Chains A and B, each alone.
Chain A
Amino acid sequence: MNSEESLWEAVRTLWMKYCGISDEYRMLRDRWLYLYKEVSIPTLPYLKNKENLTFDLLDNHIKELDQLFKDKFNLKRGVMEDYTKSLPLLRKSSLRDHSEIEVRFFDLSTYVGLLKLAFFQRTASSEISHVASGAPKSPERTIGNELFYLAADKCAKRYHECLNIPYGRWDNFITFAPPIGQGYFYGAFYHPSPYLELFHISMSEEQKYFVGSYLALAHEFGHGVLTKKTTTPEGDVITDKVNWYKLLFEIVWDGMFDSLNEFVGRRCEDCIITKYTDSKLSYFRQYEQFIADLFGFRVGGPNILSALWDISFGVTNELELIRNVALLEYIYAHSKRREIRGLIDRINDLLDRLDVVRAENNKLCPTHTNLSECITKIGGLWANIAMNVDKDIFSIIPNRNLGNLDLEGYDISSSIFSNFIKEEFKIKKSEETRLVDSLLSGIPCTDADPRHILHCYYEAYKKSKGEDRPSYPATIQSLAFNKYNKEEK
């Protein structure tokens, strides 16, 4: 087999897969739009405006891919592939051409999968209208749960409105996917697409059975603030973290070493926290989670932290706890003290529980000090550096070029973070009381800000021990049928 034949085998295989997925997308798109009901609530959101919504971007993407296959390998949709006709181009093409197409195809495939999942989830109720024919098909707990998905869309839309996200558009639909890919309950994930300039947010499927977990959506949009599109030296188009975040992390990393220096000589080298310093990437990723939490809190309110702890309670992991402490410290600096009383009790409980787990695994602190001391110290450092850099980055690293920090065009004279926050979370005491009481009584509040509804649902949930619980039907109704108009407020 010669070189062209070798390339041909791979390209042809990719082509066949692409043709299938591309037409699957086209069928799905048309079916989705056909089933969109103009005269009823949009359980299938309209994703086309002939300009820049999800279907428009995917349509363009397919055109680009069709053209690439044609330009690089003479493969055309309307005809069967032919080696001899492709040979002249195969001689000129390279592995690079195959890779470029494959990466773009990956974006398309991912989206087809997400759209398909959303489509199935949001049309389960269509079997209801088949009163006298067909077999039961809905795989959900109840015949249809479209209002849960619509409620998630409305919450996501509101969080999106409150943030200034530099890269990409939210694709306008939330999916609920099984957590299989991650190996644990991840809560929700944010997935940006480099070529489509879209991002998707999916929640882990079990989250739909607890409305309070929708608070995780605020955190995911926080990731959007930290993302940009870039091209590697090799010419690959990827999404990456913005430079100001990378710089912020370097400052934190240096600070951590300085802070942990006092533990050197105290036989802390065996400690799991100092061992993490072998893995800068772990800390980089966890710090990113903290910054996403921070933005989530700024637009979603302090119950973000309660929701986070309820999701990850079983994860007794030092790095997670550092992140949690950091967020608590940040919230402490930003909120009225009484609002976080319960949170302080909870973090102390989590730290105590971690100590018990470590003792069971014979991982006691070598210096026999309380582990909480270290975690609190580092968490506090994370939060303080974030706050200081936010307020005045140039006092810490003078003479840096804004463009190199991906901050060109932003006013950072008083705060970096504020550039990305359009609407801070605020709620009046009277509104909080009204909403909590309403949700406890089963009264939907479709006029309220979805952020407030979720916050108050969690407030009522935290206070209840089971019987006096907030009504999930009233909450879902308040969100799915939400009429909140920020222009009128």
Chain B
Amino acid sequence: MDGTAILISEKMKNEMSVNAPRIELTHHAIMWISTKGILEEHEEKVIDIIKEKLADKNLVFYGYCFGRFDLIIEFIEDSAKVASHYVCSLQEKIEKELSAALGKENVVCSSLTLACRVNPRGKDNSNKPVRTYTFLMPKSEGLDLNEITDFTCELNKDSSTKVELYWNSSSYSFILIGEGNVFTDVFNKILTFRKRMRNDFAESCTYVGLRWGETDESEEDIRAYTFVKLKDGFGELNLDKDSSIWQEQFKRLGWSDICLEAKGKTLKEIKSAILELRKNHDDILNTSTLLLSQKQEPENE
């Protein structure tokens, strides 16, 4: 086999693209940043570092994360090893600058997912305030990727809320990345996808991002549980001076010490309340928020 064989004929390319699912050759590097004991101004510093370091990259998303991670950065890179190098370098730079600013070390930790689009259609243009990452664990080897991506196309028709399927190397081998202006809309789309694909995927879990500096729109209330870990490992919070989104406070027996029940109109409102909470209470080590969808109504028979 000589070198000319790797030049694929146009005809063959067309045939292959019509019949076979394809994993895009470029990578979406999704960097998940966890922090402990840092405030909003320090998160802003982190974002500044990211924007500077990734200035020549296609930066798809950067913003807040709801959950055990605090920030998400997503950029596009051809090479997996170049992407992971950038992420490691970013982490090292962030750690160095935050240590200098805070006077204490090891307050930041990053994780990485390298994701590749499946059957990509169109460019990676993303500007919506809400971005979700639904990790999907496949049930078997027999997934029909064409069927799945055909369904995502159907879901995306005539809608400002989009979803797209990606591959990655973990047990949750696929990620459905969604985006939109309204969190509940995006989440409903994810639920529709899960319902239709229940025979293909064993389980899923969703991380929610809010684009930096953006405000999402509201259609219905968003409920959430914010888990608070205290520096002392025990205590309670006086919420008199805090946002009105906090409904109830519960003591917890597990990893976190307090659970706050929240209700807000938008993700932005909830996030702002969380940042204010951390600022007002010096005894908080970190927070982690689990967003909930609307209450499950029984299906009509």
| A contact set with B: CB distance below 8 Å | 37, 39-41, 43, 122, 124-126, 128-136, 138, 141-148, 209, 429, 432-433, 436-438, 440-444, 446, 459-460, 463-464, 468, 471-474, 476-477, 480-483
Question: Across the interface, which residues of B come within 8 angstroms of A460, CB to CB?
Answer: 6
Nearest-neighbour CB distance to chain A for B116, whole angstroms, equals 5
Q: Considering residues B13, B171, B289, which has the most beta carbons from chain A within 10 angstroms of its beta carbon?
A: B171
Separation of A481 and B111 alpha carbons in the complex (Å): 25
Residue pairs across A and B with CB atoms within 8 Å: the count is: 162
The answer to whether B3 has its CB under 8 Å from any CB of chain A is yes
Instruction: Say whether B289 contacts A442, CB under 8 Å.
Output: no
Separation of A402 and B270 alpha carbons in the complex (Å): 80
With A43-B171, A129-B135 known, 16 other A-B pairs at CB within 8 A are: A126-B171, A130-B68, A132-B288, A135-B68, A136-B34, A136-B68, A144-B171, A437-B16, A438-B20, A442-B25, A460-B6, A463-B1, A464-B6, A474-B22, A481-B138, A481-B141
Instruction: Say whether B23 contacts A129, CB under 8 Å.
Output: no
Our pick among A135, A441, A446 for the contact of B141 (Cβ within 8 Å) is A446
A-B contacts, 29 listed (Cβ < 8 Å) = A37-B137, A40-B140, A40-B203, A41-B140, A122-B171, A128-B170, A128-B172, A131-B290, A132-B68, A133-B288, A135-B34, A136-B111, A138-B111, A141-B84, A141-B112, A143-B113, A144-B170, A146-B171, A433-B5, A437-B16, A443-B22, A460-B6, A463-B3, A471-B23, A473-B23, A476-B169, A480-B173, A481-B141, A482-B141
Question: Across the interface, which residues of A come within 8 angstroms of B24, CB to CB?
Answer: 442
Interface size class of B (residues with CB under 8 A): 35 or more
Instruction: Say whether B16 contacts A441, CB under 8 Å.
Output: yes
Separation of A227 and B109 alpha carbons in the complex (Å): 47
Question: Across the interface, which residues of B come within 8 angstroms of A473, CB to CB?
Answer: 23, 116, 167, 169
Q: Considering residues A125, A429, A476, which has the most beta carbons from chain B within 10 angstroms of its beta carbon?
A: A125
**Interface digits, B84-126 against A, CB 8 Å rule (1 contact, 0 not)?**
1000000000000000000000000111111010000000000
B1-58, CB < 8 A from A: 1, 3, 5-6, 8, 12-13, 16, 20-25, 32, 34
Instruction: Say whether B290 contacts A145, CB under 8 Å.
Output: no
Instruction: Say whether B203 contacts A129, CB under 8 Å.
Output: yes
Question: Across the interface, which residues of B come within 8 angstroms of A440, CB to CB?
Answer: 6, 8
Question: Across the interface, which residues of B come within 8 angstroms of A143, CB to CB?
Answer: 32, 111-113, 170
Separation of A39 and B141 alpha carbons in the complex (Å): 11
Nearest B residue to A135 via CB reads B34
The answer to whether B139 has its CB under 8 Å from any CB of chain A is yes
Known contacts A437-B16, A463-B6; A142 and B114 CB within 8 A of each other: yes
Main SS of the interface on chain B?
Answer: mixed
Question: Across the interface, which residues of A come within 8 angstroms of B239, CB to CB?
Answer: none
Nearest B residue to A40 via CB reads B202
The answer to whether B183 has its CB under 8 Å from any CB of chain A is no
The answer to whether B273 has its CB under 8 Å from any CB of chain A is no
Separation of A440 and B205 alpha carbons in the complex (Å): 32
The answer to whether B67 has its CB under 8 Å from any CB of chain A is yes
Instruction: Say whether A136 contacts B32, CB under 8 Å.
Output: yes
Separation of A483 and B143 alpha carbons in the complex (Å): 11
Separation of A128 and B135 alpha carbons in the complex (Å): 8
Nearest-neighbour CB distance to chain A for B139, whole angstroms, equals 5
Known contacts A142-B170, A443-B21; A128 and B8 CB within 8 A of each other: no
Known contacts A41-B171, A133-B227, A481-B143; A459 and B1 CB within 8 A of each other: yes
Nearest B residue to A469 via CB reads B25
